A and B are shown apart, each in its own frame.
Chain A
Amino acid sequence: MSRSVALLICLIGGLTMLVSPFLPMATGWANDVTDWFNILAAMAFVLGGGSLLKVQLMRLSARGPGWGYSAVTLLAFVVTLWVGLGKVGVVADPSAPMVPWSGKPDDEGSAFWWIYLYVMTPITSTLFAVLAFYVASAAFRAFRAKNLEATLLLATAFVILLGRTFAGVVLTGWLPDWASGLRLENLAVTIMDVFNTAGNRAIIIGIALGVASTGIRLMLGLDRSYLGGDA
């Protein structure tokens, strides 16, 4: 019974989203479906938070390997939750200056804002910066001339790399105007605009058809694995 209700909700929600771009009167319905999903996701966050607390508390009480990380996670969770819900350091909104909690929790000057700006943002930026090294190590493995395809990949990468830097201009800038298409910076643009775009579009068309097919399978209830199968 519960599975049938879930499938019915999936069908109605899917059909609503499908027709909304084409029927002007259905635009509001699609917004309603999106709102329901957001409400559901917000309610489900309680389950996620509960899972996080349970797993970390279990690890902490068992004093297993890495229990210190669990302690840090729990401390950060509790402090951030308290700071956000309690609106610590929030400046009153100008429209209601006598009400101390009238400002938003992430307004400039609040403790939540401070945590986000001085703790969260630097940590996130650091991790993002590490990507540069991962790109280098992945490229080192990928660009080895093991066979014809790999050699072509290596040569193309070489052209793009030089064409996107000043070195490309210096190396092939002497070519006359009638051969300007062979200048590295122009070659790089041609490779990106023609070959790369063509390949990318082929993949995107396949993806669009795959999404349509998956949508039909889900709406018709043919694929129920996301609901736990037919059991």
Chain B
Amino acid sequence: MVLGADASFLNPDKLLLLVVLAATCACIVASMIAARAGSVPKIRRIAGLEAVEEAVGRATEMGRPILFVPGIQDMDNPMTVAGITVLSRVAGTAAQYDATLDVPVSRSLVMQAARESVQAAALQAGQPDWYDPERIRYITDEQFGYAAYAAGAMARDKPAACFYMGCFFAESLILAENGNAVGAIQIAGTAETAQLPFFVASCDYTLIGEEFFAASAYLSGAPDQLGTLRGQDIAKALIALALAAGVVMATIEAFSPATVTGPAAEVAP
């Protein structure tokens, strides 16, 4: 690629965004290094993740399967990646209890990633024979085709526990209401704000936004991963301070004499 003489190295319109991003990343990386050095943060209990074992245990006792839905987007979506992380934890627990885990997926790449993840979890749980690749199957890329399959599978198999972890759109309520109708314990997690109310209304536990992304660090318990969560909180505090400063400055500006007299001067004859 050849740069023209007038082409700038940095996009000047996004300089502020770059500074914010760099500050956020610096907070996260610094906290990660601090956690490695021994300053491991204490993470509050996340009810939805604590309930994973309860849900899997319930399914085992009832002799009914567990349904895990990793959303309807591909592996380029961070929510799908976060969903696969939770899947590996659910699969590990299900392998220990020898419970049946069904994972219908709507993207081929997600199917491959989910298979890798579940197989590794089964190996780690000391149950390599428990892993059955046919239980992690591709259905369709089509949104409502996938929702129809999942709803039908719930009506036929009556899963005792349903997990919805990933990116969802209009199909969220179809899935959650069908799960509710068969009496399954339901745990959902997504960062799609428009779908959160539906999950909150229909599920027993919901991981809201950043809780969902914190799941992998929370479940791993690794100090460096937990450190990144503290970095997030520091960045959030800085953003809150910037917002408060912005509100104060905007208020002062609104009440300053130049602003107050400005419009009046325009209408004056």
* Chain A residues proximal to chain B, CB less than 8 Å: 21-25, 28, 37, 40-41, 44-49, 51-52, 54-55, 58, 65-66, 69, 120, 123-124, 127-128, 130-131, 134-135, 137-139, 141-142, 200, 203-207, 209-218, 222-223, 225-229, 231
Contact = CB atoms under 8 A, between A and B. Distances in A.
Main secondary structure of the interface of B (DSSP, over half): helix
A40 to B, nearest CB: 7
Nearest to A206: B210
Interface pairs A-B: 3 shortest CB-CB: A210-B213, A48-B108, A48-B138
Contacts of A120: 142
B213 A213 contact: yes
Interface of B: 1, 3, 7-11, 14, 17-18, 21, 24-25, 28-29, 32, 74-76, 78, 81-82, 84-85, 88, 107-109, 111-113, 116-117, 119-121, 123-124, 134, 137-140, 142-145, 147-148, 152, 156, 170, 173-174, 176-177, 191, 193, 196, 198, 200-202, 208-210, 212-214, 216-217, 220, 222, 224-225, 228-229, 231-232, 235-236, 239
Given A47-B111, A123-B144, A204-B193, A225 B88 contact: yes
A203 B209 contact: yes
A181 B14 CA distance: 39
A131 B123 contact: no
B116 A138 contact: no
Contacts of A22: 10-11, 14, 17-18
A135 B107 contact: no
A131 B107 contact: no
A135 B170 CA distance: 11
A211 B248 CA distance: 29
Contact of A207 (B107, B152, B191, B231): B191
B201 A139 contact: yes
Nearest to B230: A213
A134 B8 contact: no
Main secondary structure of the interface of A (DSSP, over half): helix
Contacts of A141: 201-202
B109 A41 contact: yes
Contacts of A46: 108
B139 A52 contact: yes
Contact of A210 (B121, B191, B201): B191
A47 B176 CA distance: 28
Given A210-B232, A213-B232, A226 B113 contact: yes
